[in-house]
């Protein structure tokens, strides 16, 4: 099965809508890239997307499923629809309703006091329309961006963030690729509107190397409309703000970060992924004399796949992530890299670092397993603890800051596809820290869906 899917993915040049994180195809694409396969489609601009063939048809093709997730952490119903016309026009929809809104990944729907059929919250995780051909994607809808090299080491934008509405333009010229997006995050009770925009490009040889440079900006303001100064994909945050071209006075209405990314495959089975990010950096001697700090972050992951056969895939990896105390935080808290009280990037947000080792297995194309062991150091200034607080100063200090939680953790999770439309999944997590006594958590569940594919 995995060989057949690999061939199909390799022969397909058009990448379509985002794949829900719970789907088999999502795990498959990440496994193939880690194993050094299908690197012609490797990119720093995520998340993973469905692939479509080039067959032209006047029919409207609909691929859909209706399913339920039942587990120790709650019950959810979901549906998914992917609509295609002439392999270039697409629509997609992935709504979910749940009984416990705080226990489902990426779910930020508002909980209602009144339950209906046992459910009290619903949210559309992915939806939208797009036009795409071999070299361009034009898309409007809801979802998320995940920018950076490697799997699970993204810094500013992650595949696990809350969903937001945005428009996107993606241009693929072979060895050069560019992407621009502009979206709306949220409005608070005081009528402060928050927006996000990003632009970046990558160079790759489609064999073993991908290099990327990107800029991501959060801007906000009281009753502030969407800012047309950021609509130019070739503009930059510094040029706009320092020259007063934005739709707000002063230089404190936005927060920009810049990221360098690199993904390298050596010996066909060793993948080295790196991201280095600047938020604020000291340029002159006066700032240095005043003890002003730099705001930076980096992530590095080295992965080795010694086994890749028809029946089994095995990968070992080691990764490190470090995000500074002030990184992703702005003097105006509305410009922090958060949405709906959660970080947009790495789950801990900032003021923290992590070192871990792990392994992934994919057995007989049915059983996916992940095991991790590591250590985290989490400071008081983490965005996860105070999402909308601005920084009070930008001075150098201990990292991580304040009272630091030192946490040792172990995590084991699996998903077994008993049949194509029935899978069982489970997770065991243990952690112990200097602030919290050791805890052991166990989760188990089942994902069952009914597929429905048709042409109109």
Determine the pLDDT at residue 11. Answer: 35
Answer whether residue 20 is part of any domain: no
Q: What is the pLDDT of residue 318?
A: 98
Q: How many structural domains compose the chain?
A: 1
Residue 444 confidence (pLDDT): 95
Establish if 84 belongs to a structural domain.
no
Residue 90 is predicted with a pLDDT of: 93
Residue 28 lies in a domain: no
Q: E-strand spans in 295-438?
A: 295-308, 312-323, 338-339, 342-343, 352-363, 367-378, 405-419, 422-433
Cis peptide before 203 (omega within 30 of 0): no
| 256 found inside a domain | yes
Does residue 393 belong to any structural domain of this protein? yes
Q: What is the structure's pLDDT at 5?
A: 43
Per-residue pLDDT at 253: 86
Q: Which residues of the chain have pLDDT under 70?
A: 1-16, 52-58, 281-293
E-strand spans in 42-120?
45-46, 49-52, 60-71, 74-85, 89-98
Domain encompassing residue 256: 136-455
Both structure tokens of 242: 């320092």
Q: Quick check: 367 and 414 in contact, CB under 8 A?
A: yes
Q: How far apart are CA 117 and CA 108, in angstroms?
A: 20
The answer as to whether 42 is a domain residue is: no
> What per-residue confidence (pLDDT) applies to 307?
95
pTM of the model: 0.91
- 55: helix, strand or coil: coil
pLDDT at 142: 97
What pLDDT score does 356 carry? 98
Q: What is the pLDDT of residues 62-72, one digit of tens each?
A: 999 999 999 98
Residue 251 lies in a domain: yes
pLDDT of residue 169: 97
CATH number at residue 439: 2.40.160.130
Query: Taking Cα atoms as reference points, which of 128, 141, 161 lies closest to residue 340?
Result: 161
pLDDT at 244: 86
Are 388 and 337 spatial neighbours (Cβ–Cβ below 8 Å)? no
Answer whether residue 121 is part of any domain: no
Burial string for 183-211 (b: 16+ CB within 10 Å, else e) reads bebbeeeeebbbbbbbbbbbebeeebebb
Q: Quote the DSSP letter at residue 237.
A: H
């Amino acid at each position: 099965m995995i060989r057949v899917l690999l061939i199909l993915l390799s022969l397909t040049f058009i990448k379509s809508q985002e794949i829900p994180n719970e789907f088999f195809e999502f795990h498959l694409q990440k496994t193939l890239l880690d194993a050094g396969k299908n690197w012609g489609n490797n990119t720093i601009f995520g998340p993973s997307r469905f692939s479509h063939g080039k067959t032209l048809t006047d029919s409207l093709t609909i691929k859909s499923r209706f399913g339920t997730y039942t587990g120790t952490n709650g019950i959810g119903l979901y549906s998914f629809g992917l609509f295609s016309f002439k392999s270039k026009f697409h629509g997609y929809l992935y709504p979910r309703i749940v009984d416990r809104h705080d226990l489902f990944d990426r779910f930020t729907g508002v909980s209602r006091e009144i339950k209906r059929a046992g459910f009290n919250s619903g949210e559309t995780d992915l939806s939208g329309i797009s036009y795409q051909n071999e070299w361009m994607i034009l898309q409007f809808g809801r979802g998320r961006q995940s920018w950076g090299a490697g799997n699970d080491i993204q810094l500013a934008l992650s595949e696990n963030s809350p969903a937001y509405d945005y428009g996107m333009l993606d241009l693929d010229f072979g060895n050069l690729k560019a992407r621009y997006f502009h979206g709306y995050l949220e409005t608070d009770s005081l009528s402060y509107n928050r927006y996000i925009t990003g632009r970046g490009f990558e160079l790759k040889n489609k064999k073993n190397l991908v290099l990327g440079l990107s800029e991501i900006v959060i801007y906000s303001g009281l009753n502030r409309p969407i800012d047309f100064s950021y609509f130019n994909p070739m503009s930059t945050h510094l040029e706009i703000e320092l020259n007063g071209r934005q739709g707000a006075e002063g230089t404190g209405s936005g927060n920009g970060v810049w990221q360098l990314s690199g993904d390298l495959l050596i010996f066909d089975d060793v993948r080295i992924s790196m991201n280095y990010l600047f938020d604020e950096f000291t340029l002159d001697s006066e700032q240095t004399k005043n003890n002003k700090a730099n705001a930076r972050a980096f992530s590095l992951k080295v992965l080795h796949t010694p086994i890749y056969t028809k029946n089994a895939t095995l990968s070992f990896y080691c990764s490190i992530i470090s995000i500074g105390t002030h990184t992703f935080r702005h003097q105006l808290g509305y410009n922090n890299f958060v949405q709906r009280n959660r970080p947009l990037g790495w789950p801990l947000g900032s003021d923290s670092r992590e070192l871990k080792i792990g392994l992934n297995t994919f057995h007989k194309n049915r059983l996916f397993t992940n095991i991790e062991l590591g250590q985290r150091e989490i400071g008081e200034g983490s965005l996860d603890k105070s999402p909308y607080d601005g920084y009070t100063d930008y001075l150098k200090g201990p990292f991580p800051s304040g009272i630091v939680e030192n946490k040792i953790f172990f995590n084991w999770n699996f998903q077994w596809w008993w049949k194509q439309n029935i899978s069982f999944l489970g997770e065991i997590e243990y952690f112990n820290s200097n602030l919290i006594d050791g805890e052991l958590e166990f989760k188990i569940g089942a994902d069952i869906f009914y597929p429905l594919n048709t042409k109109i």
